[in-house]
Every structure is written in C-alpha cells, then in structure tokens.
Amino acid sequence: MNLPIRIGMDTSKSVFQLHGVDENEAVVVRRQFRRAEMIRYFERLPPVLVAIESCGSSHHWARLLQSFGHEVKLIPPQYVKAFVKRGKNDAADAEALCEAVTRPSMRFVPVKSKERQAACMLMTVRERLVSVKSQLSNAFRSYAAEFGIVGPAGRQNVTALIKRVLEDDNLPEMARDLFRLQAEEYAAVEARLAKIEAKLMKWHREDDVSRRIATIPGVGPIGSSMLSMKTPPPETFRSGRDFAAWLGLTPKDHSTGGRQRYGGITKAGDSMLRSTLIVGATALLRHIRKGRHKPTPWLTSLLERKPPKLVAVALANKFARIAWRLMISGGVYNRPVAAMPI
C-alpha cells in the first residue's frame, strides 16, 4: 500500500478523521483514529503535508505534528467550506481539507508558539473579567434602584454607590446581606482584573513592537499589545490596506457591471482587535472635541463631511495601516505638527 504524501485531518476532542492521498492523488487513508492512535500514527509516518482547520486546539496539534517532522498548514474554516462536495460530516471535512491545501491562492493561518498563545490568553481572560465586572455593576445598580437608591453613571462611580447602599439602615436585612455578597464579588473581580492588567503592562513594556505601536495616538498599551500578540508576521501582507482588510476595517464591495458600490465594513478577522482599535479612535475623537488634540487636515475634513462613527472607523483603519508600517519598517510614530497636543 502506498504511503500518503498529503493528509487532511478533521479534529475533535477524542476522534480524528484522516483523508490521505498519494503522489497519484489516489486515496490511501480514509479512517477515524482515537486520540492516542492518531499520535502514534503520525509518529511512525514519514514526513507529509497535513492540513487542519484553524479552530480550537489546532495550534497544539500543529506544533505536535511539526515536532514529528511533518509540514502543517492551518486553514480558516470558511475557506474549507467551498471544497465540501456534499453533506457535512467528518469524512467530507477531511477530504475538503486535503483538497483545499493544494490551491495556490489558499490563505493559511500561521502556527502560534506556546508563548504567543499564552499572551493571547492574557487578552481573552481580561476581556472576560471586564465583561463580568460590567454585569455585576449593572446588576448592583438595578437592585439598588429597586430600593430607590441611584448613583451617577460611569464605572468610576460604582464603588461610591456600593458604599452608600451598604450604609443604608432602611434596607431589609436580607437585602443588605445580598448587596454585601454582590459587593464582595465585585471587589474580587476588580482585584483579579488588576492582576491581569499588571501582567499585561509588564508584557507591553518588555515587547519592542508593542512599545513602538503605542506611540500612535489613540492606540494605547492595550491596543498595541493586542496588535503585537495577534498579528501574523507583517510580511504576510502586501500593504497596510491588506492588513486593514484582514482586520475587517475596509468596506464591503458590492460592485457589478463596472459600477463601484461599497457598503459597511466587512467585520472580518479578530472582532476583539477591531473593536479595540475603534474604541481607541473614538477616544481620540473625544479628546479632539475637548481641545486636547489638534486634528490633522485629513481628519478635520472628514469630521466636517461624515458622521462621528464613520470617522472613528476610518481613523481605526488608519491606525491599522500605520501599525503595519511600524511593524515592517521599525521606528516609532512621528506625529504631524498639526496633530500635536495644544
């Protein structure tokens, strides 16, 4: 029996479907393996090209198979779907992967190291804690309002509201106990979040790329750290526009018949990274409105012609292009004279 030269592998927690072909494109492997069986199979197999969908645990399997001497390509699931002939099952997915990896124009996801995955985990844990903190503060405000106690809007005012509620002697004993329980939970989440953000700032200070990207006004240490952590090698992109498109910050193209038609942004790529850049752009526009920054002529013209949210997205697009240039060429951002703080 001929040995495969190319294998598509559909992964899951315990069961792995393989589809392999030889140099004549004849199918030589089409079977399921349990987790331990799959590892033993690839340990004994001579080096082959393995295609895996970029999904949960895919980077782990890519690193493991690379350590066995195999070449591994990770493919985004949306690019594999077009090669599924009929039906949706593990065997069809593995066959589609085996076919998709041969396409000259196929796009692949770079395999992350353990260290890079740990850094990305830092961001996702922080995002989860921020979400939990918002849920707790909103719940506390809602319960307090039921007893006629309200406070000013803003995260900075939550602690003062908690103190007011806990000191209110008119509350029933049960309500006071429940408020105290929620206050303790809120304080615990705040403490965990502070630890995570301290780790994030330490990572930012030690990473050269992150420090240089942070010189762009409006990006900040969180946005710059995220760009440094999550961006593939910048040489992957031909231009800053390609990088902005990868982040989903370019308009959808609906052109036909020689007519150019563009809609909203594609929202492709990493939603957390894209939203962080847009939030940073919104914050910079707020500073401009308050007179803390003087806008460039390009931004002044855009603010006169377009609504604020559209301007924020355009500014986030510009952030992405500048960040790509800094990653490619080195150096730091040099602010135009017109954009210097007043």
Of residues 32, 34, 31, the one with CA closest to residue 14: 34
Residue 58: how many other CB atoms lie within 10 Å: 20
Of residues 309, 302, 301, 227, the one with CA closest to residue 264: 309
Comparing 257 with 23, which gets the higher pLDDT? Answer: 23
Q: In the prediction, which pLDDT does 88 show?
A: 85
Whole-angstrom distance, CA of residue 91 vs CA of residue 19: 7
Q: pLDDT tens across 135-183, in order?
A: 999 999 999 999 999 999 988 999 999 999 999 999 999 999 999 999 9
Per-residue confidence at 339, pLDDT binned at 50, 70, 90?
very low
Residue 4 has pLDDT above 50, yes or no: yes
* DSSP class of 167: T
Whole-angstrom distance, CA of residue 166 vs CA of residue 183: 9
301 token code pair: 């013209």
Given a contact cutoff of 8 angstroms between Cβ atoms, the answer to whether 31 and 37 are in contact is: no
Mean pLDDT for the stretch of residues 99-126? 94
Q: In the prediction, which pLDDT does 1 show?
A: 63
Residue 199 has pLDDT above 80, yes or no: yes
Given a contact cutoff of 8 angstroms between Cβ atoms, the answer to whether 12 and 58 are in contact is: no
Q: Return the percentage of the chain with pLDDT > 90, whole number.
A: 85
* DSSP class of 4: P
Q: Return the percentage of the chain with pLDDT > 70, whole number.
A: 98
Of residues 59, 113, 41, 109, the one with CA closest to residue 80: 109
Q: pLDDT tens across 260-276, in order?
A: 788 888 888 899 999 99
Mean pLDDT for the stretch of residues 303-323? 95
Mean pLDDT (the chain) is 93
Domain 6-100 CATH assignment equals 3.40.50.2300: no
The sign of the dihedral angle between the CA atoms of 232, 274, 121, 70 is negative
Q: pLDDT tens across 230-239, in order?
A: 999 999 999 9
Q: Give φ, ψ of 153 to 5 degrees.
A: -70, 160
Of residues 242, 239, 245, the one with CA closest to residue 325: 239
Of residues 128, 109, 3, 8, the one with CA closest to residue 56: 109
Beta bridge partners of 31: 18
Q: In the prediction, which pLDDT does 89 show?
A: 92
Q: pLDDT tens across 108-119, in order?
A: 999 999 999 999
Mean pLDDT for the stretch of residues 115-133? 95
Q: Give φ, ψ of 16 to 5 degrees.
A: -130, 125
Q: In the prediction, which pLDDT does 340 show?
A: 46
238 token code pair: 């031909």
Mean pLDDT for the stretch of residues 238-246? 95
Whole-angstrom distance, CA of residue 70 vs CA of residue 73: 10
Sequence-ordered alpha helix ranges (H) in 290-334: 297-305, 308-329
Q: In the prediction, which pLDDT does 341 show?
A: 44
Q: In the prediction, which pLDDT does 99 show?
A: 97
Given a contact cutoff of 8 angstroms between Cβ atoms, the answer to whether 217 and 336 are in contact is: no
Q: pLDDT tens across 16-41, in order?
A: 999 999 999 999 999 999 999 999 99
* Segments making up each domain of the chain, as ranges: 6-100, 114-206, 208-339
Residue 338 has pLDDT above 80, yes or no: no
User: Residue 100 burial (CB < 10 Å; 0-12/13-18/19+)?
Assistant: buried
Q: In the prediction, which pLDDT does 336 show?
A: 63
